[in-house]
Chains A and B, each alone.
Chain A
Amino acid sequence: MIAPYALKLAVQSLLKEKWINLLSVMTIGAGLLIISVSFFALYNIDIATKKLPKKFSMNVYLDNNLQQDRLDSIMDAIRKNRAVLSVRYISKDEAMKELKSYLKNSDYILEGLEENPLPDSLEIKLRKDATGRETAQQLAREALKIKGVAEVDYGENFLTTLTAIKKGFNAIGLVFAVILSTGIIFVCYSTVKILFYRRTEEIETFKLLGATKGFIRTPFLIEGAFIGACGGLLSLAGCFSLYYTVLLRLSVTMPVFKAVLFPANLFLPLPVIGMLLGLAGATIALGRIRY
């Protein structure tokens, strides 16, 4: 029977102190919006970096004049690796042809070469789930052990940079989320504390009439949770507004934004996240108040 009345007290207080509560909701909303935008950016960076390895391939350079059976055994040995999606043989002549087509009008650079300096090679495509630096490194080490393999180029720098960028962005995102979540908890903490002190006299009377701590605390917990949830709702509205009014319009004039993905489903729990943060702030506040 206490719960409905606690809800009533909470609603009364929310309406009575509407300006403080509105300010808190807006602050929480802004905080959660910044977290969401950061997450949105990280999500798209992650998607983009996952797409990049599709274009990424390893090149295995072979010794000159290998016999066909040796070549076949090398290709078989490489294909056996779980990370390998496909292996394509590129003869030195084919490689020269590709180089010439790449150089287009600058192919005069190659003039004067008496002999094709390019080696025979194998182009290895990796599976989508095996494009990490460690996998590529491991495969390169194994390939180098095969007789007839002269050199392996797996774009080490590219993969290292990519991994570092991903890790960096994730770390920044995490720090950002922790700082802002702490900020949101603090906003709820302060709001509940202010609301509590504004009702000190009433609470004192409740206590003298026999109210338990639970009876006194419950309305404030409801208020904290409600303020947090409203902040979450506001940030959710902000996310959708930003995407539909800003990004979609920008993508008309700047096609690069067309590639940006909006994970609407992942943003839907924002009100619940806000509610939990609000509840946490209220719980800490009530735990620290002596009454």
Chain B
Amino acid sequence: MIHFQNVTKDFDNQTALKDISFSVDKGQMVFLTGPSGSGKTTLLKLIYLAERPDNGEIIIDGYDTSQIKDSGIPLVRRSIGIVFQDFRLLENRTVFENISIALRIRGIGEKETKTRTYDVLKNVNLRHKADSYPKRLSGGEQQRVVIARAIVPEPVILLADEPTGNLDPDTAEGVMNTFKNVHAKGTTILIATHNRELYRNTGNKVLRLDSGNLIGEEFGR
């Protein structure tokens, strides 16, 4: 589903990712770990085409990203759900609007948009907050809105960048349960985190990054 082959990315002559190669199979849940500045976010950005590699080959859902023109990027992104580290919630729009926008962008009709948005709000226990604005929500609630927005279009791939950062253990567990439910439906998930508790004893693949190098591939034990 996701295939990196000798991928390198530099920013102003500083190497962000160096000769990275790995694969994530369809339906797999993989964790990407490493200290801050190790290149986790850059790697995710390469997947959703916010950045292009300087060298190497990236294949997403069977498509070689080097062959995708700028006009084709929206179509690739529509198959990916993203949980951004900085949330990227629209402050002047309600929770409902923040989530439903992911469906509207895909041209889904009004009735279906409403049904699916309320369904996902129920799944993340935020049905009662549908008309609230993001600023009125706690950090955990905001995180769940971002997750709801990422999963509502039922993407093939789900990317999450530090989805439990700044969350208390109970809320983090709730977030992880949501991911597990999505994964159970067959979605390929890549979670970037430096929280070891998330992947400990899961048996899932863990990719370890350090200073832009992939220093290890193991399974969460």
User: A residues within 8 Å of B by Cβ?
Assistant: 1-2, 4-5, 16, 202, 204-213, 215
Contact = CB atoms under 8 A, between A and B. Distances in A.
A16 B91 CA distance: 14
The 6 closest A-B pairs by CB, nearest first: A210-B77, A210-B78, A211-B105, A212-B74, A1-B107, A205-B88
B48 A206 contact: no
B101 A209 contact: yes
6 contacts: A206-B105, A207-B74, A210-B78, A210-B80, A210-B106, A211-B74
Q: Is the interface of A mostly helix, strand, loop or mixed?
A: helix
A273 B107 CA distance: 31
A71 to B, nearest CB: 83
A210 B110 contact: no
Interface string B139-169: 0000000000100000000000000000000
Contact of B77 (A2, A16, A202, A208): A208
Given A1-B110, A202-B90, A208 B82 contact: yes
Contacts of B102: 209-210
A5 B75 CA distance: 19
B215 interface: no
A163 B92 CA distance: 61
A1 B109 contact: yes
A1 B109 CA distance: 6
A209 B77 contact: yes
B196 interface: no
Given A209-B105, A210-B78, 12 more contacts: A2-B104, A4-B110, A16-B92, A202-B90, A206-B105, A207-B74, A208-B77, A209-B82, A209-B102, A210-B80, A210-B102, A215-B105
A212 B101 CA distance: 13
B108 interface: yes
Contacts of B108: 1
Contact of B88 (A4, A16, A208): A208
A45 B50 CA distance: 61
A112 B108 CA distance: 102
Nearest to B80: A210
A257 B106 CA distance: 60
Given A1-B107, A1-B109, A215-B105, A205 B78 contact: no
Interface string B76-117: 011010101000101010000000011011111110000000
B110 A208 contact: no
A267 B50 CA distance: 50
B84 A208 contact: yes
Contacts of A2: 104, 107
Contacts of A212: 74
A2 B107 CA distance: 6
A2 B90 CA distance: 19
Interface string B60-81: 0000000000010011011010
Contacts of A4: 110
Contacts of B109: 1
A41 B149 CA distance: 59
A288 B180 CA distance: 44
B60 to A, nearest CB: 13
Nearest to A1: B107
A11 to B, nearest CB: 14
Nearest to A2: B107
A211 B74 CA distance: 6
Contacts of A213: 71
A92 B51 CA distance: 98
A206 B102 CA distance: 8
Contacts of A204: 88
A205 B90 CA distance: 8
A207 B110 CA distance: 21
Contacts of B106: 210
A5 B104 CA distance: 7
A116 to B, nearest CB: 90
Contacts of B110: 1, 4
Nearest to A215: B105
B105 A210 contact: yes
Contacts of B77: 207-210
Contact of B48 (A1, A205, A208, A215): A208
Nearest to B76: A210
Nearest to A6: B104
A76 B101 CA distance: 84
Nearest to B45: A208
